[in-house]
Amino acid sequence: MSTVRTIAALREALLPSRRAGRTIGLVPTMGSLHDGHLSLLAAARAACDIVVVSLFVNPRQFDDAADLAAYPRDEARDAQVAADAGADLLFAPAAGELYPAAFATTVSVRGVAEPLEGAHRGAAHFDGVATVVTKLLNAAGPDVAYFGAKDAQQVAVVRRLVTDLAIPVRIEAVATVRESDGLALSSRNARLVPGDRQRAPAVHAALTAAQAAVDAGEREPAAVVAAGRAAMAGLDVEPEYLALVDPTTFAPVAALEGEILAVVAATVGGVRLIDNRTLKRESMTHAANDAQEQDPPRHGDRLRPALRRFDHRRPRAPGGG
């Protein structure tokens, strides 16, 4: 695996493959690679001839300076993990490469970016996401870009922007990888102290309870949400939001009809956690969904030897988000 740090070097490195008609896959990350990232890399490696991993902690998408300061960074470790996972190229730019002194452009997505994460983290969050993703897509020119399904609203925002701006790339969302107790993998999990780690599965418990309410015949969205809140309360966690939304627009649903996404966010011990689950209503679909939820990709299922050699948990940093 080669490492490049400028857009010009990235384009030059990819030019021979592009001319040869090889398929290029991009896995954008902010580092602190874990099994969730490895699932993205595995999907890219299986489908693409060339796999590019970007490593950039994007300051423009953090609404909390303490959260940005606490975000774990270890480029040497991440580079080794990416290489052992089969990446061909690591793009690790400095902030000044993506945001030079004269940089004066912001990409803003309206509608889908405004509720939930947009409301709680502020408009600047998804403006930062949309701007850096647009820049990465333009820099690498991939055929496919891979994102984690855990960040469902982010995926919806990215899909909206590539459609609206006619960027020729396919966006793939890869299934969430979870710990054995259901907690979705996140770089932030390393900052959970033991007591808070025991409470953190409340986020996933809310989604499981919401599906259980639907399975039991509940058809009122408010009652389904109430079931999820009750599950969280049992672990002494209060959600920032718990909502049933349309998975494309992220508008709240008035009835349990069609495809519905349950989304949740909560702060546990200063660490902000998010998760989501598609709710199924038909009995035959219930069984398939339950099987998937009972045996999702687990932490360690896709671990390659390189990741086993590195302890990706970090000591708790001051601050949180």
What number is the average pLDDT over the span 111-115? 98
- For residue 22, what are the CA distances in angstroms to 47, 163, 270? 11, 23, 44
Residue 293: per-residue pLDDT: 53
Going by pLDDT thresholds of 50, 70 and 90, the confidence category of residue 297 is low
Q: In this structure, are 7 and 141 located in the same domain?
A: yes
DSSP per-residue letters across 163-227: HHTT---EEEEEPPPB-TTSPBP-GGGGG--HHHHHHTTHHHHHHHHHHHHHHTT---HHHHHHH
CATH code for position 225 = 3.30.1300.10
pTM of the full structure: 0.86
Residue 62: per-residue pLDDT: 83
Beta strands per DSSP E along 20-72: 24-29, 50-55
Residue 189: per-residue pLDDT: 93
Residue 285 lies in a domain: no
pLDDT of 160-215, one tens digit each?
999 999 999 999 999 999 999 999 999 889 999 999 999 999 999 999 999 999 99
pLDDT of 217-257, one tens digit each?
999 999 999 999 999 999 999 999 999 999 999 999 999 99
Residue 31 lies in a domain: yes
Q: In this structure, are 231 and 152 located in the same domain?
A: no
Q: Which of 34, 37, 125, 204 is catalytic?
A: 37
Q: Confirm whether 125 is a catalytic residue.
A: no
Q: In this structure, are 138 and 31 located in the same domain?
A: yes
What is d(CA 61, CA 128) in angstroms, rounded to the nearest whole number? 4
Residue 291 lies in a domain: no
Residue 181 lies in a domain: no
CATH code for position 74 = 3.40.50.620
Q: Which of 113-122, 265-274, 281-290 has the lowest mean pLDDT?
A: 281-290
Residue 294 lies in a domain: no
